[in-house]
Structure 1
Amino acid sequence: MSVDDECKLRFLELKARRNYNETYDDFTVSLLDDECRYVVYDFDFMTNENCQKSKISLIAWSPNTSRMRSKMVYASSKDRFKRELNGIQVELQATDPSEMSIDNVKSRAI
């Protein structure tokens, strides 16, 4: 599995301009319960020292209800995907919504 050129272009635009964000809740609601996805999200958060930060995060969404073959393909191609999108700062694997809670993502970003 390779990264589509359009995906790479959008990623470079995100890195340069940081202009594609939805709210985190809107983003998580858009994920399907039975389909694996790689998701890149520009995560804005406040540190414990009250500093505004932003980290480009890769979430490997592989829900328990997705087909086994799909989970295997996504698991085996994640490293290549990450290499092709140079600049990922935070990585998270999630199989259900609780694993990608905003607090969980923030704890990895700090």
Structure 2
Amino acid sequence: MANAASGMAVHDDCKLKFLELKAKRTHRFIVYKIEEKQKQVVVEKLGEPTNSYEQFTACLPADECRYAVFDFDFVTAENVQKSKIFFIAWCPDTSRVRSKMIYASSKDRFKRELDGIQVELQATDPTEMDLDVIRSRAI
């Protein structure tokens, strides 16, 4: 069972959409979901380049785990426009124990597939990934 839980395949679309976000900036965010029956990680939702951080967080279910990538634009203290790609492991306390275990055991393997992540964040509650936290981690 342990092997099955950590052996989640990664759908090709996951990497493809991530490369689009990273290189072409065609997406603001990507929400990924583990399909337990198919034993693979798939793209659940893509955010438009104009979407806000609030629109992104609204896409995360309140009681289910997800992986997400968010392209965060910010201005440094030196007034330089920058962007950082965040990987967020969303695992709310209210999600099923089995789901938390599968997401936790598959996270590192999945993250390795996405080359170019600059900041990783683990969140069990919306306050752990609010905009102030993102801003402070980006700088």
Q: Taking structure 2 as the reference length, what is the TM-score of the superposition? A: 0.76
Unaligned runs of 5+ in 2: 1-7, 29-50
Which residue matches 1:10? 17
Per-residue CA deviation, residues 50-73 of structure 1 (Å, 9 max, x unaligned), is 221101110000001000110011
1:65 pairs with 2:94: yes
Query: Percent of aligned positions with the same letter in both sequences?
Result: 69
Q: Over the residues paired in the alignment, what is the CA RMSD in angstroms?
A: 1.0
CA shift at 1:30, angstroms? 1.1
* Structure of greater Rg: 2
CA distance in 1, matches of 2:9, 2:73: 28
Question: 2-side partners of 1:48 and 1:76: how far apart?
Answer: 38
Bigger share in helix? 1
2:75 to 43, 46, 50: 46
Q: Give the structure with the higher percent strand.
A: 2
Query: Aligned residue for 1:87?
Result: 116
State the one-letter code of the partner of 1:74: Y
**Inter-partner Cα distance in structure 1 for 2:133 and 2:61:** 20
* Per-residue deviation, residues 33-87 of structure 1 (Å, max 9, x unmatched): 0110000111111222222110111000000100011001111111111101111
TM-score by length of 1: 0.95
The count of residues paired between Structure 1 and Structure 2 equals 110
What are the residue-to-residue correspondences of 1:89-104 with 2, within 5 Å? 89-104=118-133
1:16-46 Cα deviation digits (max 9, x unpaired): 1112122100000111101100001111112
CA distance in 2, matches of 1:109, 1:103: 10
| Pairwise CA distance, 1:94 | 0.4
Larger RCO, structures 1/2 (Cα 8 Å, 6+ apart): 1
Partner of 1:108: 137
SS of 2:63's partner is: coil
How far apart are residue 6 of structure 1 and its match? 0.7
Deviates more, 1:10-19 or 1:57-66: 10-19
**What whole-Å deviation, never above 9, does each CA across 1:79-105 have from its counterpart, x for those lacking one?**
111101111011000001100011111
Aligned twin of 2:42 = none
